[in-house]
A and B are shown apart, each in its own frame.
Chain A
């Protein structure tokens, strides 16, 4: 199975801050990498697919980059409604695997 190492596991930032989360795959996954947002008690929501494509309806402050084994997720200006846990997911090879998650809090 492909291992996804996501960091940090938690992050505290202020409204308006630029926030960055990284995800590293244990082998080359090309650009088969998604980012999801999960709020407490809710299902995950797709934000970024194929490493850098913004899902329809998702605010443009969210972005993703990377290919191969190293990926980055960025919120350009943190908003209060962005408080959530964020997960990366590789879907190059079955089984799909997720990073451990990054819990984002407001400072």
Chain B
């Protein structure tokens, strides 16, 4: 079955960067779109951006433009989300999620288990 397995928790200093991975198995990675959604403690869900590996295209929410980079390695079926210039407000659980839309609207039918990123001095 399809699984998205994310890398482990991270503790980072303000101003640094973090890179979270999301490894897919059980399906055809090239047919996926992988989005990244974050959730601050006790808060709701916030879409950050996505990548369409087969097209090599990434889209980002305006809020994160310039600070986030989403990439994918088709050879290892792994997507990455790198967030730079970290501040305390970036403390959150970061999720990857899959859809099969190929860039067209599609629901997130599988999610990773989440990665807690803590930003603290």
Flag whether A71 is at the interface (Cβ < 8 A). no
The 3 A-B pairs of least Cβ separation, nearest first, read A43-B111, A49-B107, A95-B61
Point out the residue from B47, B59, B105, B109 that lies within 8 Å of A46, measured CB to CB. Answer: B109
Name 13 extra pairs, CB < 8 A, besides A91-B105, A94-B61.
A1-B62, A34-B107, A43-B97, A43-B112, A43-B114, A44-B37, A49-B107, A55-B107, A55-B109, A89-B108, A91-B107, A96-B47, A98-B46
Across the interface, do A44 and B109 meet the contact criterion of CB distance under 8 Å? Answer: no
Q: Which residues of the partner chain B approach A49 to less than 8 Å between Cβ atoms? A: 107, 109
27 contacts between A and B (CB under 8 A): A1-B62, A32-B105, A34-B108, A36-B45, A36-B108, A38-B45, A43-B95, A43-B113, A44-B108, A45-B111, A46-B107, A46-B109, A49-B107, A55-B109, A87-B44, A89-B107, A89-B108, A91-B105, A91-B107, A92-B105, A94-B61, A95-B61, A95-B62, A96-B35, A96-B47, A98-B44, A101-B45
Flag whether B106 is at the interface (Cβ < 8 A). yes
Binding site for B on A (CB under 8 A): 1, 32, 34, 36, 38, 43-46, 49-50, 55, 87, 89, 91-92, 94-101
Q: Which residues of the partner chain B approach A95 to less than 8 Å between Cβ atoms? A: 47, 49, 61-62
Q: Which residues of the partner chain B approach A96 to less than 8 Å between Cβ atoms? A: 35, 47
Q: Which residues of the partner chain B approach A87 to less than 8 Å between Cβ atoms? A: 44-45
The total of chain B residues at the interface (CB under 8 A) is 21
B118 to chain A, nearest CB (A): 16
Q: Which residues of the partner chain A approach B114 to less than 8 Å between Cβ atoms? A: 43
C-alpha gap A101/B111 in the complex (Å): 18
A54 to chain B, nearest CB (A): 12
Q: Which residues of the partner chain A approach B108 to less than 8 Å between Cβ atoms? A: 34, 36, 44, 46, 89
C-alpha gap A50/B105 in the complex (Å): 10
Across the interface, do A101 and B59 meet the contact criterion of CB distance under 8 Å? Answer: no
C-alpha gap A32/B113 in the complex (Å): 25
C-alpha gap A100/B40 in the complex (Å): 12
Across the interface, do B111 and A44 meet the contact criterion of CB distance under 8 Å? Answer: yes
Across the interface, do A97 and B105 meet the contact criterion of CB distance under 8 Å? Answer: no
